[in-house]
Structure 1
């Protein structure tokens, strides 16, 4: 009887959570629709200048134009490809370097001030140097994205490693465990939440790096459309590119969030 009552209460609780989630999603969609409708109305009534801020109907027309020209998905694909490559490389290389810093306390202390300086340095200032070293093309864009996300990954993951329970590490050391075993069985599993947080940060940083790189050297991509649209006073192109960029960045962030939820469900 108790189990039956508990199951019914639990079922009601789950339904309540589901209703709340649906309500949140509905309100979010309504806010978005209201925003675009208000934008369109204000532009039609000349409350805002459509030339300066564009309007949804004009962006839709330009979207159809790009699609008919066969360039829409090419621009989106180029930017997404560069972002994914920069994101993956930044995450993998940053994690490997963080592991090396954890493995050697001496190297960690030596490199610590350099990491602080590199993290504080505006990476865009190094853009022209990267272009000169790597070349004027996709490799330079990916290198800039990697440079922007790499240092943050190293610092974030290293901080997560340092927060691992010292008693667990000492216990394994007492039993004669090697550093590799400690890393595998204690440090990495305990640091997965931190690493997922680093992934979330890297999503935004990778997009920033790619767009900055495309501003400087690209001949295609969303960053190129934004720069070119600004140069020829095509604000429809600029605003449409920004909206597509926002949607793509959100979807990439959601993929990381889905991975996080699956991990938490498996762990819990």
Structure 2
């Protein structure tokens, strides 16, 4: 390989090079999309166009509607995620205290988890109304069970040798829980937040689909019923942006709390 080719290969493997490839891929995709629409090879009515999407986005920025809808959905998702995660994680950790209770409860956890939470949406909206509270409850129902399972499994994987060592030194279960189980479980629990925050966003949007006066889900549902595909795409792209934002917030939190995990990942990648 020539020196120039080697430099190019090295650049493409850097973070900047990979980011440029990603951006270029998106630009090319939208260019092809617009080009095919201009030629009439794809229907603008059925799929929209990048120019149309951009125009609709600018309009929604100028009338502030996109900020209102995005803020509403983000608030529902975050509030439900925090409440659901606290409830689920607390129960999952506390189940470590009693194997007997854990064995009794586990089949019910599996049964509840097997039920699609989206199917609960009509019942939740019937019980709690159509306001913000109902959407938050729906998000809680989707995130709590995932957090519970993650925390419960994390306690099972906690360092058994260290638990035995503290037990032999006379430590009670409360001390073992505080000094070994919780610290050992937290990295796996926090890592699961990446997945769970996505479920929170799904729960918020589903609730808005069924009944809402604001939010990105409400925006997408109304636009699709009127066949305004450009508006639908604006809503979907905003959901992607919100999802990326939440994911990388969790990623930053994990790297801040457990820096050695990110270091080990970088070592694995180099190997």
1:150-161 equivalences in 2 (<5 Å): 150-161=144-155
How far apart, CA to CA, are the structure 1 residues paired with 2:171 and 2:29? 58
SS at match of 2:170: coil
Structure 1: state its 5+ residue gaps: 1-15
Is residue 244 of structure 2 the alignment partner of residue 250 of structure 1? yes
Is residue 265 of structure 2 the alignment partner of residue 263 of structure 1? no
**Partner of residue 38 from structure 1, selected from 24, 32, 39:** 32
Give the aligned partner of residue 97 of structure 2.
103
Give the aligned partner of residue 3 of structure 2.
none
1:193-232 equivalences in 2 (<5 Å): 193-232=187-226
Give the aligned partner of residue 166 of structure 2.
172
1:23-62 equivalences in 2 (<5 Å): 23-62=17-56
Structure 2: state its 5+ residue gaps: 1-9, 264-271
SS at match of 2:14: helix
Q: 1:98 to 1:18 in 2, by over 3 A?
A: farther
Give the aligned partner of residue 236 of structure 1.
230
TM-score (normalised: structure 1): 0.89
Give the aligned partner of residue 135 of structure 2.
141
Give the aligned partner of residue 7 of structure 1.
none
Is residue 58 of structure 2 the alignment partner of residue 81 of structure 1? no
| Native 8 Å contact 1:164 1:190 kept in 2 | yes
Q: CA deviation at 1:161?
A: 0.8
| Native 8 Å contact 1:199 1:256 kept in 2 | yes
RMSD: 1.7
Give the aligned partner of residue 192 of structure 1.
186
How far apart, CA to CA, are the structure 2 residues paired with 1:225 and 1:93? 30
| Native 8 Å contact 1:141 1:217 kept in 2 | no
How far apart, CA to CA, are the structure 2 residues paired with 1:17 and 1:96? 46
Point out the more displaced range, 17-26 or 198-207.
Answer: 17-26
Q: How many residues align?
A: 253
How far apart, CA to CA, are the structure 2 residues paired with 1:37 and 1:229? 24
Give the aligned partner of residue 11 of structure 1.
none
TM-score (normalised: structure 2): 0.88
Q: CA deviation at 1:52?
A: 0.8
Q: Deviations over 1:148-196 (max 9, x none)?
A: 1111111111111101121111111122222222122111221122112
